[in-house]
């Protein structure tokens, strides 16, 4: 018989909650999760789910990590919140210092916000106002990639090429010009060079470094991005790295930009920043950029704020996450996960419908090619999602793209169980 507690939670949820990225008319009711431990989530019936996507890419150390919880608790007993305009505190200062110590030398200032979308909004505003404060008024356009995803606020939506994500608001978004996917390097670089005929109109070039996440886990080479950044810099265009998904070990290094020779001018962080415990966004830049906002004229300051900017408890979570990130065993786990992914895709090279297998650090992705049109709205997504849920695996396919992006503590046996179910699902489509 169904667990009455589980049924009650489902009914109460359905009565009052509107869930994100959910078409409530046709999708199943939400599963009540009661607790998590390590790589696993547990529902009210006691069923276990391997969190193969780190709960939307945020959890890097495992659920309910006792060290992170302890540090948040300790901070809550000291200072839970203080306005960050005109005041500061040790956790914020220490977090900025430690984060900058892991970033390229050209990053010297940290601006706090609340999440990935707001970190991107801040980055856009920094870039546009950088020129405005110098009296350079014609540099108003942004360059981005096709299939880009940078968030769901209006500025961040503008940076995504027209799609179902932003269709109802398309005529309200600001002007952005898009390059072809960097997975076609020649076409992408040629398009960038062509745009440089009107370089004085562009303020910034924004990109997800090495991996376009929501666009289908599309992976591309550091050499391609290095070339694009060098072109932008030759024409005094600022480069913004959206490291919200790729940061904190996901690509096999601290940050995806660590693979680059040419470094961005602005970088945006969230998700793994706090180990997935609490919401926070950070945008970093150089002293040179920061100095253009210094003036006796208050109108030249950056007009951006959030009520919970640099919340002390969230800073404590991020500092604790950095402690775990810096431990040798963390990097051993990252290397182990990458090696496991590489072994699996070598095993599947000749599979009839599992195609385009690719790995970057701890992320592995592939497409299920069944003869239908590919893309985010591919009908196979719902069948695949439900199949994996029934098997006790949390995955959210991007259309016909399947990917694994798990906490680094996932074991090789847990990875093998996910690989096996991907193969079982794909083989069922052939039969």
The CATH number that applies at residue 391 is: 3.90.1150.10
Residue 94 sits in the same domain as residue 216 = yes
Q: Is 310 left (phi over 0), alpha (psi -120 to 50) or beta?
A: left
**Type and span of the H or E element at 185:** helix 185-195
Segments forming the whole domain that contains residue 16: 4-64+328-430
CATH number at residue 182: 3.40.640.10
* Position 374 pLDDT exceeds 70: no
pLDDT score for 373: 64
Least confident stretch, 138-152, 173-187, 320-334, 376-390: 376-390
* Position 165 pLDDT exceeds 90: no
Residue 123 sits in the same domain as residue 242 = yes
Mean pLDDT, rounded, for 239-253: 98
Task: Provide the 8-state DSSP code for 215.
Answer: T
Residue given tokens 């006691």 in the structure block = 46
- The residue among 286, 309, 326 that closes a domain is 326
User: pTM higher than 0.75, yes or no?
Assistant: yes
Mean pLDDT, rounded, for 322-333: 98
Residue 310 sits in the same domain as residue 420 = no
Q: Where residue 371 falls among pLDDT bands split at 50, 70, 90?
A: low
Q: Is 273 left (phi over 0), alpha (psi -120 to 50) or beta?
A: alpha
Mean pLDDT, rounded, for 104-123: 98
Give the pLDDT confidence of 294-321 residue by residue, as tens digits. Answer: 999 999 999 999 999 999 999 999 999 9
pLDDT score for 356: 96
pLDDT score for 320: 98
Residue 85 sits in the same domain as residue 208 = yes
Pairwise CA distance, residues 64 & 22, whole Å: 26
**Under a CB-based contact definition with an 8 Å cutoff, are residues 317 and 278 in contact?**
yes
Give the pLDDT confidence of 66-85 residue by residue, as tens digits. Answer: 999 999 999 999 999 999 99
Give the pLDDT confidence of 273-299 residue by residue, as tens digits. Answer: 999 999 999 999 999 999 999 999 999
Residue 315 sits in the same domain as residue 349 = no
Q: Where residue 161 falls among pLDDT bands split at 50, 70, 90?
A: confident
Residue 257 sits in the same domain as residue 201 = yes
Pairwise CA distance, residues 224 & 210, whole Å: 9
* Position 164 pLDDT exceeds 70: yes
Residue 202 sits in the same domain as residue 123 = yes
- The residue among 326, 343, 376 that closes a domain is 326
Mean pLDDT, rounded, for 3-14: 89
Mean pLDDT, rounded, for 19-32: 94
- The residue among 301, 326, 351 that closes a domain is 326
Residue 359 sits in the same domain as residue 409 = yes
Residue 384 sits in the same domain as residue 320 = no
Percent of the chain predicted with pLDDT > 90: 93
Mean pLDDT, rounded, for 346-368: 96
Q: Where residue 163 falls among pLDDT bands split at 50, 70, 90?
A: confident
* Position 337 pLDDT exceeds 80: yes
Q: Terminal CA-to-CA distance of the chain, rounded, Å?
A: 33
3-state secondary structure 350-372: CCCCEEEEEEECCEEEEEECCCC
Sheet of 48-51: strand order equals 33-37, 40-43, 48-51, 393-394
CA 400 distance to own-chain centroid? 20
Mean pLDDT of the chain: 96
Between residues 431 and 44, which one has the greater pLDDT?
Answer: 44
Residue 299 sits in the same domain as residue 333 = no
pLDDT score for 359: 98
Mean pLDDT, rounded, for 143-151: 96
DSSP assignment of 98-139: HHHHTS-TT--EEEEESSHHHHHHHHHHHHHHHHHTTT--S-
Mean pLDDT, rounded, for 27-31: 93
* Position 385 pLDDT exceeds 70: yes
Total count of domains within the chain: 2
SS3 426: helix
pLDDT score for 6: 84
Task: Provide the 8-state DSSP code for 167.
Answer: G
SS3 268: strand
* Position 38 pLDDT exceeds 80: yes
Residue 308 sits in the same domain as residue 332 = no
Give the pLDDT confidence of 169-227 residue by residue, as tens digits. Answer: 999 999 899 999 999 999 999 999 999 999 999 999 999 999 999 999 999 999 999 99
**Under a CB-based contact definition with an 8 Å cutoff, are residues 321 and 280 in contact?**
no
Residue given tokens 């995504």 in the structure block = 160
Residue given tokens 């430690």 in the structure block = 98
DSSP assignment of 269-325: E-GGGGTTSS--EEEEE-HHHHHTT-SSSGGGS-----TTTT-HHHHHHHHHHHHHH
Residue 267 sits in the same domain as residue 388 = no
* Position 4 pLDDT exceeds 70: yes
Pairwise CA distance, residues 168 & 145, whole Å: 20
Q: Where residue 379 falls among pLDDT bands split at 50, 70, 90?
A: confident
Percent of the chain predicted with pLDDT > 70: 98
Residues 6+ apart with CB under 8 A from 176: 141, 142, 143, 144, 158, 159
Pairwise CA distance, residues 16 & 29, whole Å: 12
């Amino acid at each position: 018989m169904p667990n009455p507690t589980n049924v009650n939670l489902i009914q109460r949820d359905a009565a009052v909650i509107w869930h994100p990225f959910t078409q409530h008319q046709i999708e199943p009711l939400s599963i009540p999760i009661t607790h998590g431990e390590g790589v696993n989530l547990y529902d009210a019936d006691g069923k276990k789910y391997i969190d193969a996507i780190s709960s939307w890419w945020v959890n890097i150390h495992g659920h309910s990590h006792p060290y992170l919880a302890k540090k948040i608790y300790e901070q809550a007993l000291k200072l839970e919140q203080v306005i960050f305009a005109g005041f500061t505190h040790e956790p914020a200062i220490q977090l900025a210092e430690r984060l900058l110590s892991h970033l390229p030398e050209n990053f010297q200032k940290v601006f706090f916000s609340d999440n990935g979308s707001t970190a991107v909004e801040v980055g856009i505003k920094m870039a546009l106002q950088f020129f405005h404060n110098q009296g350079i008024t014609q540099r108003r356009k942004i360059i981005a990639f096709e299939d880009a995803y940078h968030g769901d606020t209006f500025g961040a939506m503008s940076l995504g090429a027209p799609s179902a994500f932003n269709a109802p608001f398309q005529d309200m978004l600001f002007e952005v010009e898009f390059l072809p996917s960097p997975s076609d390097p020649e076409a992408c670089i040629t398009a960038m060079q062509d745009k440089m005929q009107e370089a004085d109109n562009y303020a910034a070039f924004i990109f997800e470094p090495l991996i376009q996440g929501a666009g289908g886990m599309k992976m591309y080479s550091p050499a391609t991005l290095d070339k694009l950044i060098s072109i932008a810099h030759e024409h005094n265009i600022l480069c913004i790295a959206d490291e919200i998904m790729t940061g904190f070990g996901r690509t096999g290094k601290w940050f995806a930009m660590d693979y680059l020779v040419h470094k961005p001018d602005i970088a945006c962080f969230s998700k793994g920043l706090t180990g997935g415990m609490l919401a926070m966004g950070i945008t970093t830049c150089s002293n040179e950029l920061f100095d253009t906002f210094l003036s006796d004229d208050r109108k030249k300051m950056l007009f951006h704020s959030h009520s919970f900017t640099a919340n002390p408890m969230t800073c404590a979570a991020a500092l604790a996450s950095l402690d775990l990130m810096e431990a040798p065993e963390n990097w051993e786990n990252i290397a182990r996960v990458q090696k496991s992914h590489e072994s699996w895709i070598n095993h599947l090279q000749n599979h009839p419908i599992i195609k385009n297998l690719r790995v970057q650090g701890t992320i592995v992705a592939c497409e299920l090619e069944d003869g239908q049109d590919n893309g985010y709205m591919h009908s196979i997504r719902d069948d695949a999602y439900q199949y994996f849920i029934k098997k006790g695996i949390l995955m959210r396919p991007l259309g016909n793209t399947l990917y694994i992006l798990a906490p680094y503590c996932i074991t090789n046996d847990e990875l093998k169980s996910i690989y096996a179910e991907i193969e079982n699902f794909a083989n069922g489509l052939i039969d």
